[in-house]
């Protein structure tokens, strides 16, 4: 009797684990809107085929080719949890509130354990961040600024920013590390 009960428990536990894994895999596949972020490189979870010479003109223009990738639309990024930071930078006309998922949660969703990442913007600007940089700040992959989605031409679709933990004023060096119009993360 105890053996049969133990088998049922193990079978039930196995079904829960399989269902959880299937739900995670389906979440990566569930595009509801246009892709706003592609992640390539050292990742474990994928939901997109390899680079295609004809279909992937923007990646070709930026000389980025890949065997595997994970893609996200806005709904998928929002589902990772929204966080916000208000940034008051002296060169900007006013403080702005940015909203989006933590970068660490985006990287975790694709099974990445980066030593370095490169975040590429549509204009070709790239910001390279080492693991120590990623750990030093609370990075947000912003989808919204002051409650509105970031549009193309208004520094969208994504803007990578961070909250300073030390409370110091933001500097030009900080701003130089925040790629706007970001669309690609390469994990190394």
The pLDDT tens digits of the residues spanning 120-167 come to: 999 999 999 999 999 999 999 999 999 999 998 889 999 999 988 888
Q: How far apart are CA 117 and CA 95, in angstroms?
A: 28
Distance CA 98, CA 119 (A): 18
pLDDT tens-place string over residues 69-116: 999 999 999 999 999 999 998 899 999 999 999 999 999 999 999 999
Q: Residue 177: in which H helix or E strand, if any?
A: none
Contacts of residue 128, Cβ cutoff 8 Å, sequence gap at least 6: 116, 117, 118, 119
Q: Which CATH number fits domain 33-187: 3.40.120.10, 3.20.20.150, 3.30.70.360, 3.90.420.10?
A: 3.90.420.10
pTM of the model: 0.83
14 φ/ψ angles, rounded to the nearest 5 degrees: -60, -40
| Cα 78 to Cα 101: distance, rounded to the nearest angstrom | 7
In this prediction, residue 166 carries a pLDDT of: 86
Which of 77, 74, 84 minimizes the C-alpha distance to 146? 84
């Amino acid at each position: 009797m105890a053996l049969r009960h133990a088998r049922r428990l193990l079978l039930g536990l196995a079904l829960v684990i399989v269902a959880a894994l299937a739900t995670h895999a389906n979440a990566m596949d569930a595009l509801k809107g246009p892709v706003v972020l592609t992640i390539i490189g050292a990742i474990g979870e994928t939901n997109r085929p390899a680079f295609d010479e004809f279909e992937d003109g923007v990646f070709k223009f930026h000389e980025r080719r890949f065997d595997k990738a994970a893609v996200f639309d806005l709904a998928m990024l929002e589902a990772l949890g929204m966080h916000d930071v208000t940034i008051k930078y002296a060169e900007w006309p006013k403080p702005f509130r940015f909203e989006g998922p933590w970068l660490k949660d985006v990287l975790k969703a694709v099974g990445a354990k980066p030593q370095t990442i490169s975040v590429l913007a549509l204009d070709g600007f790239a910001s390279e961040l080492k693991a120590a940089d990623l750990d030093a700040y609370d990075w947000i992959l912003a989808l919204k600024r002051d409650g509105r989605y970031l549009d193309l031409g208004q520094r969208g679709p994504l803007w990578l920013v961070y909250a300073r933990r030390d409370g110091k004023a933001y500097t030009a060096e900080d701003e130089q590390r925040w790629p706007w119009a970001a669309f690609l993360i390469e994990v190394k």
